[in-house]
Amino acid sequence: MDEEEEEEEEEEEEEEEEDEEEEEEEEDEEEEEEEEGEEVEEEEKEDEAVEEEEGAVAMEVEKEEEQ
């Protein structure tokens, strides 16, 4: 193999490594986005539960005030 072929091979290997790193980064970002989405969903469910609870308490207070 001459120097030119060796350089080309090295460049190809470097490009492959860069591609693999990019793929890994993309996968990591997707995982992070999924986790964030799940966290947001959980927070929304908790908020809804709190709102329902507050609504129920408010209705009880109204009933007691009426009596």
User: pLDDT tens-digit profile of 8-51?
Assistant: 999 999 999 999 999 999 999 999 999 998 998 999 999 999 99
Q: Residue 25 corresponds to which tokens in the numbers above? A: 């980064």
Q: Residue 13 corresponds to which tokens in the numbers above? A: 């290997």
Could you give the CA distance from residue 18 to residue 10 in angstroms, rounded to a whole number? 12
Could you give the CA distance from residue 42 to residue 2 in angstroms, rounded to a whole number? 60
Could you give the CA distance from residue 16 to residue 22 in angstroms, rounded to a whole number? 10
Task: Please name the amino acid found at residue 47.
Answer: D
Band (55; pLDDT cuts 50, 70, 90):
confident
What pTM did the predictor assign?
0.53
